[in-house]
Amino acid sequence: MQVAVIGIGLIGGSFAKDLKQLYPEANIIGIDKSEAHLDEALKLNIIDKKGNYEALADSDVVFVSIPVDSLLEELPKILDAVGEETVVMDAGSTKDLICQSVMDHPKRRNFMACHPIAGTEHSGPSAAINGLYEGKTNIICEVEKTAFKLQEKGLEIFQKMKMRIRYMNPVAHDKHIAYVSHLSHISSFMLGKTVIEKEKNERDIFDMAGSGFESTVRLAKSSPEMWTPIFEQNRDNVVETLEEYIQNLESFKQLLVSRDFGNVHQEMSNTNRIKQILKGIPLTKK
């Protein structure tokens, strides 16, 4: 099996590392605009060799993990280059514009629109890890537009990686992911910004920061090159979630201003139910 991984960072590199374990016979070709990334991936044995789009025609699987603005531009070119039996899968955090970009492409049947919800705050080939996708959810959009035989090829890989598969339309995906992913990244970035601007003596931040602050601000270390295009493509949904979030922050602030600590406690108690949701336990209606 020949696999081309386009974008050898955390996501693409981790995909390649898992494939090497699951399919020892696989020949993994790395494609990346950064020559340094390719050299590093070779040195770390993440890929077997460097390549370009000419290798796509003979590849069984193409996995694309590049920023979503580049994906809009490159995906049609990738489909132009692949063979008839090649399945192309992406890892983009937005789906609506990406699906629209190849809606009328003659090889639309070769594309499986995916969003494996996995990652860390780190980037680059050295951030790639085995088992990144295990137990994580992979959202697949417009699966009916992918040739059935090619669906099976992609699904086999994700199932061997022990991922949970969910199907969703691209519009719903972008709306929901704005709440559970995009908003949390903005919150983390802005918390980091607030603390940096307030605490001019950075030593105080490091000395006083506990595990709660560290875990909350962790996402602020994420790549701006990756996240700016995501916020741009999902702007309307992100703005809507921000408006709701800001309204909740304002309401909580007013409870503090008015010394209404009974309702402060109640708000936090109500929100504790998020533990049930994250464990998959349905909330009982009161």
Q: Which residues contact 111 (CB under 8 A, 6 or more apart)?
A: 75, 79, 87, 88, 89, 90, 102, 105, 145, 146
Distance of CA 29 to the CA centre of its chain: 22
Looking at the DSSP assignment, which residues form a beta bridge with residue 272?
none
Domain hosting residue 191, numbered range: 173-278
Let me know whether 136 and 148 are in one domain. yes
The per-residue pLDDT for 216 is: 76
Mark which of 137, 169, 201 sits at the end of a domain: 169
| pLDDT value of residue 195 | 81
Regions of the chain short of the pLDDT cut 50: 283-286
pTM value is 0.85
| 140 vs 169: CA distance, rounded Å | 8
What are the tens digits of pLDDT across the range 7-40? 999 999 999 999 999 999 999 999 999 999 999 9
Same domain for 7 and 51, yes or no, is: yes
- Residues 115, 181, single domain; the answer is no
Q: What does the alpha-carbon distance between residue 91 and residue 139 come to, in Å, rounded to a whole number?
A: 10
Q: What is the pLDDT of residue 206?
A: 64
Which pLDDT score, from 0 to 100, does residue 277 have? 62
User: Does one domain contain both 122 and 206?
Assistant: no
Does one domain contain both 20 and 151? Answer: yes
> What pLDDT, on a 0 to 100 scale, did the predictor assign at position 123?
84
CATH code, domain carrying 192: 1.10.3660.10
Domain count, the chain: 2
The C-alpha atoms of residue 195 and residue 13 are separated, in whole angstroms, by 33
Give the integer Cα–Cα distance in Å for 86 and 74.
16
Write the DSSP string, the chain.
Answer: -EEEEES-SHHHHHHHHHHHHH-TT-EEEEE-S-HHHHHHHHHTTS-SEE--GGGGGG-SEEEE-S-HHHHHHHHHHHHHHS-TT-EEEE--S--HHHHHHTTT-TTGGGEEEEEE----S--SGGG--TTTTTT-EEEEESGGGS-HHHHHHHHHHHHHTT-EEEEE-HHHHHHHHIIIIIHHHHHHHHHHHHHHHH-SSHHHHHHH--HHHHHHHGGGGS-HHHHHHHHHHTHHHHHHHHHHHHHHHHHHHHHHHTT-HHHHHHHHHHHTTHHHHHTTPPPPP-
- If asked whether residues 52 and 123 sit together in one domain, one would say yes
CA dist list (Å): 72 to 15, 35, 250? 21, 22, 37
Residue 22 shares a structural domain with residue 125: yes
Domain final residue, candidates 139, 169, 199: 169
Give the dihedral of Cα atoms 17, 71, 151, 21; nearest 10 deg: 0
Which pLDDT score, from 0 to 100, does residue 207 have? 67
Confidence at residue 285, expressed as pLDDT on a 0 to 100 scale: 46
